[in-house]
Structure formats: structure tokens, C-alpha cells
Chain A
Amino acid sequence: MKLARDTWLTFQYETVLLIRNPSNIAITLIQPLTYLALFTPFLKGVMGVSTYGDAYQIYVPSLFAAMGIYSGLYAGFALLAAMHQGVISRCRVTPVSRIGLLLGRELMYVVLIAFQAVVIALAALVLGLRVQPANVLFALVLLSMMVLLGVSISFCLAMLVPNETVLPTVANSIAQPVALLAGVLIPLSVAPLWVRNVALWNPFAWGTRGMRAILEGQLRGSVVWEGSLIMAAVAVLAVVLTSQLFSREIA
């Protein structure tokens, strides 16, 4: 009960901060929208699909995954800023739940990225994507788990490497291979076998495959439940481990 209240409280606080800078939300949307408009035509050629609708079908889940991975893995900067601003210390000297402080922040990212994904989906619909709205919702659930995983990793990094100059390098050197190995540019199905074998160890790759199948409407495929299950398990594990680290480092 207290955990739910404190999580909600932290979520509200973080959301107010976010909304105060709407330009940030807009700026982080520019890149995916650019890719959507300018990269999909390349993909259409490379993948040899006949219509833009098919190309968007392939690319939108990749874009969702890229947004989840990058936004998630860079969330640690905000935590670092809050630590340096003294806001985390201020919260710690109150009886507020430590896990609530963490979960509220993670939840803010889930909502933010879900919102951005909806904007991308709407733009893609205008450009020719054909998809069932219910399937988009299902994909967003899977995306949310990817965000939880990414944010958790990033929060851990920020706590272990509390340094503004080092953290970008560390976050980037993780985000790049993770994103490429999830097939955010070109689906892994066209990758060489060894790359696909390495990607088997990347939970984000399972999530991306699952989202792709969902948006294609193939809900019964094993890819969907495998992806959902793996993502859910890894995300829960990551959140639990991050809470433990958070309680140790921050409490």
C-alpha cells in the first residue's frame, strides 16, 4: 500500500519535471521520426519488399525497440542529475519507500516511451502501415518490459559509475551492440548465422522479434510467447536487482 503510494508519488514528481520541458519530449521524437521517414525507403530496397506498408511493418517494431533501448539506457543521466542536484538525498531523509523512489522513476520512462511509440505508430499509419490497434497495444506492453530492462541497467550504471563524463561512454558502448544485435536497423533474419547465435543471448532481440510478430498479426507464433516470457523474466529480474542495488547505494 505504502509502496504503491510512494511509487505513484515519485511518478507524479518525475512526470511534472518532464512536462515542464516539453521540448525534451519533442526533441527525442525527432530522431525516430527522421528514421521513419528517411530510413524506411532504404529498407524497402534492401529487404526487397513491394510496398511501403510492408516496409513499415518491418521497420516500426525495430524503431520501437531502438527507442526502448536507447531511451532506457540513457535514463541513468537523469538519476545522476537528481543525485548531484541533491534531490535524491532530500528524498532519502524522508520515510518515503526506497523502492518507490526507484519504481516511480522507471514507470515514468515506461509511460514516456509508450507515448512516443504511439506518436510513431500514428505517423507510420499515415505513411502506409497497416496494423490492428489492439496489436499495437500488445506490442506496447512488450516494449514497456524492454524499457524497464533498459532503465534498470542504466540506473545500475549511474549508481556504479556516478560520473557525468564517463557514463555517456559506458552507456553508449552498451547501447550500440545491444541495439544492433536486436536488429534495430535491419531484421536479424537476414543476419549471418553467427550474429544470430550471439543475438540469442540478447533479451532485447527476443523482445524485438516478438513485437515484430505481434505487429504483423501473427499472435499465435511461438516467437510471441517466447519473446514475452523472456522479456518479462529478464525485466523483473533487472528491476529486483536494481532495487537491491538502489537500497544499498542510495538507502
Chain B
Amino acid sequence: MIEAKGLRKSFRTGRRRKTAVVDAVAGVDLNVAEGEIFGFLGPNGAGKTTTLRMFATLLPPDDGEARIAGADLRKESALVRRSIGYVAQGGSTWDDVTAREELVMQARMHGIGKAEARDRAAATLDALDLTEYGDRNCKTYSGGQRRRVDIALGVVHSPKVLFLDEPTTGLDPQSRAHMWDLVRRLRDSGVTVFLTTHYLDEADALCDRISIIDAGLIVAEGTPSDLKREISGDVVIVDLAAADSAGAPEPATMLKAAKLLTDERCVHSCEAIDHTLRLYVDSAATAIPQVMRTLGSQGIEPGAIEYRRPSLDDVFLAKTGRTLAD
């Protein structure tokens, strides 16, 4: 449903002699199949929104090509606009207008006649559990309701593809769960959903497939479980802050512990994050006693040790050397 090859976009920043060119998107390839929820995961500033805005025909790409719902993004942008819905990060409604009025207007801008636009607005309000609030001014909505109105505006014309920019950012846990549910319902009704997120759990739980983007480049693509499977074994997290105090460990201690554990045979790799060490091992059950012995022999007392299955953050760390600070 979406095929992109070598999509690029750079921006000029600064003025006169201080101008610099920033490659916001440095070559994005991806394939999104019909009827899936595709997640674009990456830290802030990775190029997610820029890519999305290119797909939504709001920004012309500098280079590369893409087809959306069969139409060429560059040459047939008018055709692309007919088959997509776009929901921006910051929302897009006026305060003094009701959701129903906005929906009717949005449908009419898609070329739909007055009577049908009214029917569609009503049906969309209904489908998104908004009928109760539909005739209130947008300024009276809660964050979650407002976000649902934004989604409603993106789907009122029954698009084939829906682009959602950070759909759950700033929502409370309950609204977030509601939003996930809604996105799944849209997919089940046949809409292809392309969303950006910087939440690991969202990419993991909601998306059928994801692409991880960092610094304008895609570093991994696949289903969340396939990506996690690439990182075999367990993750052991050693917290070097003393258990009885909140104080951070000495940098020298951190370095020494990292060196000791990296040399340990059972440890595949070791990453220092804040005052913890993240160890990638085959089996946590045999690695933990070994780690305890090694650190203890050098007089280093870890405050806590825990282990877990690899997460998408570990995938991100393995690919980029950095962690997706949540």
C-alpha cells in the first residue's frame, strides 16, 4: 500500500554564513502492506514527522520515490490525497466549532456533497464513540476526546491509508488504551495505518510491523517479535548505585565493572546506561551468579540485579548504540 525508495529531505538551518544543511531524512526505504498497522519508531528528531509529512503530500521530497495506494507521490499528489487521511501531531480543530461541523466540512473538502457529508459525519462520530460530544465545541473536549476528533477528521472520507503522527503522545493511560483499540478497529475495517511513535510499548503491542528510524535512516524493519528474536538470550541489568542510597556510583567503578563484565565469557556485550550496566547473555540463570562472583572479587557491590527478555529498546541499542530514553 505504501512503497518508498530512497526518500530524502534536508533542511537549511541558520542564516547567511552560518547556514548548515540538516539531513532530516537521509534515505528511507519501506514497504507497508495493505491492512496492517505499521509503526515508525524512533527518538524525537529522528525524521519520523518529516517522513510522514512527505507521505501526506505536505512536503516535497528532495529525492527518492514513493507510491501510495498505487499513486506516485511526486507526480500524482492529487490522486494520493484522495486515498489518504492525515492526523497531525498537534491536532487540527478550531475551538469554537463542533466536531460535527468540522467533520461535515472536512468531508466536503474531499468533494463529498452536503447531504452525504452529514451522513458520513454522523457515522464517523458514531464509529469513534463521539456522538455524545459531537455537538459540543471542540474547546470543551478532554485530551483523549480531542485526539479522537482528530482521528475522525482523518477517516471521515474512508481513506485507504491513514497516517497518524504520534497518536497517543500526551494521553493518559486510559485514553491511550482506548486509542489503541480504535486503531485496531480501523485496521480490522480494512484501513492501512501508518503511525509514528517514540513509545516502545506502543510499537510492540499495537503495530503489526515496525521500522526503526534513527538520524534519518532506517536501522531495522520487521515484526516486533522478529526484531526482538534477533537479540537472542536474556538481558541482565546490573544497577551499580548502592542499594541503601540514591547516590550514583563513581565513574571509575562503572568503568572497572564494565571492563570486568565485558571480559566475562558468558557476556556477549555490555552497555553502560546511566548507573546501570546492561548485559546481553545467553541465559540469565547461569550468568547472574557469575556476575556476582566477578564483581564481588573486586569489592564492587551492585545495588540490584534483574533480568528480562529483550525489548525493542535492546534492538534499538544494538542497532544504534544508544537507548530510546522513554
Contact = CB atoms under 8 A, between A and B. Distances in A.
Contacts, number: 58
Interface string B78-111: 1001101110101111101100010001101111
B56 interface: yes
Interface of A: 6, 9, 13, 16-17, 20-21, 85-87, 89-96
Contacts of A89: 58, 86, 88, 92
Contact of A9 (B56, B57, B88, B109): B109
Given A9-B109, A13-B105, A20-B97, A95 B90 contact: no
A91 B88 contact: no
A90 B106 contact: yes
Contacts of B315: none
Contacts of B109: 6, 9, 91, 94-96
Interface of B: 56-58, 78, 81-82, 84-86, 88, 90-94, 96-97, 101, 105-106, 108-111, 153, 157
19 contacts: A6-B109, A17-B96, A21-B96, A85-B92, A85-B94, A86-B88, A86-B92, A87-B94, A89-B92, A90-B153, A93-B57, A93-B81, A93-B84, A94-B81, A94-B109, A94-B157, A95-B78, A95-B111, A96-B110
Given A13-B105, A86-B88, A89-B58, A94 B110 contact: yes
Contacts of B81: 93-95
Contacts of B97: 16-17, 20
A16 B56 CA distance: 27
A9 B108 contact: yes
A90 B81 CA distance: 11
Nearest to B108: A9
B59 to A, nearest CB: 10
Given A9-B105, A17-B97, A90-B106, A95 B82 contact: yes
B86 A90 contact: yes
Given A85-B91, A94-B109, 20 more contacts: A9-B105, A9-B108, A13-B105, A16-B97, A20-B97, A85-B93, A86-B88, A87-B92, A87-B93, A89-B58, A89-B92, A90-B86, A90-B88, A92-B58, A94-B106, A94-B157, A95-B78, A95-B109, A96-B110, A96-B111
A13 B108 CA distance: 11
Contacts of B105: 9, 13
B301 to A, nearest CB: 53
A9 B101 CA distance: 12
Nearest to B89: A86
A9 B110 CA distance: 11
Contact of B56 (A21, A93, A95, A96): A93
A1 to B, nearest CB: 12
A90 B108 contact: no
B92 A95 contact: no
Nearest to B56: A93
B58 A93 contact: yes
Contacts of B96: 17, 20-21
Nearest to B111: A95
Contacts of A96: 109-111
Contacts of B101: 16
Contacts of A9: 105, 108-109
A90 B92 contact: yes
A24 to B, nearest CB: 11
User: Residue among B105, B106, B108 with the most chain A CB within 10 A?
Assistant: B105
Contact of A17 (B85, B91, B94, B106): B94
Nearest to A87: B92
A43 to B, nearest CB: 39
A56 B78 CA distance: 53
Contacts of A92: 57-58
A134 to B, nearest CB: 36
Contacts of B56: 93
Nearest to B84: A93
